[in-house]
Structures are given as C-alpha cells and as structure tokens.
C-alpha cells in the first residue's frame, strides 16, 4: 500500500506542477502579449521552453520546500505521505479556485500553506523559523522590490529616451521584450518547478526512499520541469487578461521594465536566499510600479486591491483546504 501511495502522491505533485504552469503562464508572457511584442502562441512556446531550462539552474528552492517547512523526521510511512497528499490537494484546490475567477494568486504560497495546514492537522511539527526567514519575509520584500525597482527603472528609461522618436523607441523595446520575457520565464522555472521537486523529495523522504542529505534525484528534476512546461504551454488566458490589461494598459517600454525587474528579483531570491517567492506577486507588483510612473490613477487600484486580497488569503485558505484534505485522506486510508 505504501508504494502505491508514493506513486499516487508523486502523480498528484506533477498535477499540481501542471496546474502551476497554466495558472502562472501569464506571469512570464502577459506583458509581452499585451504590448504585442509577441503573439500568444509564440509567447507560450518561449515560456514553456525557458521554464524547462530554468528548472535545472539550481536546487536551493527545492531544498527549502523539501527540508525546511515541516519536521519530516517526526513522521514517516503512510502517515507522512498522507500529510504530503493533503498539502497537494489543498494547494491544487486553491489554484483552481483563483484560476477560475481570474486572480493571479501565488501557487508557491498555496503549496507552503498546504504543507503547514496538513502538518498541523496531522500533529507534525512546522519549522516556523524557516518559514519566517524563507517565506514570510521574502513574501513581503519581493513585491516591494518589484514595485520600487520597476518604478525606478521606468523613470530612468523615460529620462534616457525623453528626446527619442516614440515610434522607434516602441519598436526597440518591443524587440527587447523578447529577451525580458524569456528571462522572466527562466526565473519562473527556477522558482516554481523547484517547489514541485521539493515536495516530491519530501514524499520520498518520509517514505524512506531517500536520505535527508541526498541530492534531488535527476528524474525528479526532469519530471517537474516537464510538467510545468506542459502546463505553461496550455496557457492561463483568464489570468493573462487580468495581468496584461486590467491592471494598466502597458506599452513596450513599461513591459520591458516590469519583466526585467521581476526576473532579477526571482533570480536573487532563488540563488541568493533559496527563498520560494511568488512569481505572481513579483510581476504583478512590477506592473503596478511601471504603471505608477504615468500617474497613480493610471493603475486600476480596484483590480489591484482584489489581487492583494487573494495574496493575503492564499496561505490560510490553502492551509484550511489542506487540513480538510488530510482528514478526509486519513479516513479513506484508515
């Protein structure tokens, strides 16, 4: 039974990875599509390929998720696998709800919330210090960095090109957006594919298929990278409309600035800190930052407010759903 459960948990983790891909596809490409720098289909192919490549650029985020959220030494076997199963079901449920209503919430924080909720329901210890340092503080910092960094970069661009021909500037930044969109998709793979690697490693760890100090197996990296790439190619059109058009009407220069700052933030958080930050939070706040350089009223703050509400709700809602999923799974498994 335990082997069957291991296989089932890994399969569900890859389903989560797939939903993460189509839920977050807009993060990498919405700005490029909305400015017509890329066609939707070309943008999706670019994002899928760069997601796959980005997944192999490190394992710091995977290590944080797999070893730094719950006390894996306190639980093992079927009980441990049930905790991971509950976490995944809670995260997937919240992903689907926010995808359906078109809100760009965080798949990353849904997964973290799911792990915390399932662990608490299963009386398993939570590494609160690690969550504070690696999740909650970066969760606040990354949107702030995105907003202020994008605002500053856009001000610099406006000053540097203040005397240039607007048509020529737009054409140039439309081409540059191909690079910035690719960088954003690479950062998405670096961040989000690794989170699935981490939760699969956790399932293997609690079932004694790997040791705590083992590296992430290569097959886990390939599976996670493939699932998120396929999900990205499937697209996230509902959220793409919110991110690319409803917050602010973007031009190519603003799209380039938002993507560049967001991608840079993702790299620093992943490689420098091993922090599983939200690509959604980062790009959305960057879009708001470049929008604010027009005038504060140019940003549709009502849409932004509903997005922030989803951010605040994500961890507790995913945790609640995961706790319920854990209870139901425990009853089903006896």
Among 18, 45, 84, smallest CA distance to 224 is for 18
In this predicted structure, what is the pLDDT of residue 265? Answer: 94
- Residue percentage of the chain with pLDDT more than 90: 33
The distance of Cα 276 from the centroid of its chain, to the nearest Å, equals: 8
* Rounded Cα gap, residues 231 and 60, in angstroms: 23
Between 250 and 273, residue with greater pLDDT: 273
User: What is the pLDDT confidence band of residue 25, given thresholds at 50, 70 and 90?
Assistant: low
In this predicted structure, what is the pLDDT of residue 58? Answer: 83
Asked if pLDDT for residue 300 goes beyond 70, the answer is: no
Residue 240 half-sphere exposure, CB side, CA atoms within 13 Å?
Answer: 23
According to DSSP H, which parts of 35-136 are helical?
Answer: 40-54, 60-67, 77-100, 107-121, 128-131
Number of independent structural domains in the chain: 1
Q: What is the mean pLDDT of the segment spanning 297-305? A: 66
User: What is the pLDDT confidence band of residue 165, given thresholds at 50, 70 and 90?
Assistant: confident
* Rounded Cα gap, residues 329 and 334, in angstroms: 8
Q: Please write the tens of the pLDDT for every residue from 97-112.
A: 887 776 667 888 889 9
Q: Please write the tens of the pLDDT for every residue from 47-84.
A: 888 889 988 988 889 998 988 899 888 888 888 899 99
In this predicted structure, what is the pLDDT of residue 213? Answer: 84
In this predicted structure, what is the pLDDT of residue 244? Answer: 45
Residue 27 lies in domain: 2-333
| Residue 126, helix vs strand vs coil | strand
Give the C-alpha distances (Å, rounded to integers) separating 102 from 98, 172, 310: 6, 31, 11
Task: Give residue for tokens 């699969």.
Answer: 200
Q: For the chain, how are helix, strand and coil distributed in percent, rounded to 5? A: 80, 0, 20
* Rounded Cα gap, residues 102 and 238, in angstroms: 5
Q: Output the DSSP codes for 150-198.
A: HHHHHHHHHHHTTTS-HHHHHHHHHHHHHHHHHHHHHHHIIIIIHHHHH
In this predicted structure, what is the pLDDT of residue 181? Answer: 85
Average pLDDT, the chain: 85
Asked if pLDDT for residue 302 goes beyond 50, the answer is: yes
Between 284 and 317, residue with greater pLDDT: 317
In this predicted structure, what is the pLDDT of residue 326? Answer: 95
CA dihedral 130, 132, 138, 139 (to 10 degrees): 120
Question: Model pTM?
Answer: 0.85
| Residue 253, helix vs strand vs coil | helix
Q: Please write the tens of the pLDDT for every residue from 175-207.
A: 898 888 889 889 888 888 898 999 999 999 998
In this predicted structure, what is the pLDDT of residue 1? Answer: 66
Asked if pLDDT for residue 297 goes beyond 70, the answer is: no
């Amino acid at each position: 039974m335990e082997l069957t459960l291991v296989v089932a948990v890994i399969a569900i983790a890859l389903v989560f990875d797939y939903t993460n891909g189509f839920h977050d596809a807009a993060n990498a490409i919405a700005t490029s599509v909305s400015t017509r720098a890329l066609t939707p289909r070309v943008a999706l192919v670019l994002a899928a390929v760069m997601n796959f490549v980005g997944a192999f650029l490190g394992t710091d985020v995977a290590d944080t998720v797999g070893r730094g959220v719950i006390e894996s030494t306190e639980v093992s076997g079927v009980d441990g696998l049930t905790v991971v199963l509950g976490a995944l079901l809670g995260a997937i449920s919240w992903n689907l709800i926010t995808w359906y209503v078109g809100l760009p919430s965080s798949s990353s924080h849904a997964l973290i919330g799911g792990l915390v909720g399932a662990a608490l329901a299963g009386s398993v210890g939570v590494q609160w210090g690690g969550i504070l340092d690696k999740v909650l503080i970066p969760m606040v910092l990354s949107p702030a960095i995105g907003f202020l960094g994008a605002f500053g970069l856009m001000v610099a661009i406006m000053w540097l090109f203040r005397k240039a021909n607007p048509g020529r500037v737009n054409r140039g930044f439309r081409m540059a957006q191909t690079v910035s969109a690719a960088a954003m998709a690479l950062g998405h793979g670096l961040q989000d594919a690794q989170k699935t690697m981490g939760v699969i490693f956790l399932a293997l760890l609690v079932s004694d298929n790997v040791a705590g100090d083992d590296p992430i197996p290569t097959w886990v990296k390939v599976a996670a990278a493939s699932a998120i790439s396929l999900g990205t190619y499937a697209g996230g059109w509902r959220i793409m409309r919110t991110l690319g058009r409803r917050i602010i009407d973007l031009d190519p220069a603003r799209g380039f600035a938002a993507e560049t700052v967001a991608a840079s933030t993702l790299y620093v958080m992943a490689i420098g800190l091993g922090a599983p930050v939200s690509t959604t939070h980062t790009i959305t706040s960057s879009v708001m930052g470049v929008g604010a350089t027009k005038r504060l009223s140019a940003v549709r703050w009502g849409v932004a407010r509903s997005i922030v509400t989803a951010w605040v709700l994500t961890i507790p809602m995913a945790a609640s759903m995961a706790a319920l999923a854990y209870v139901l799974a425990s009853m089903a498994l006896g």
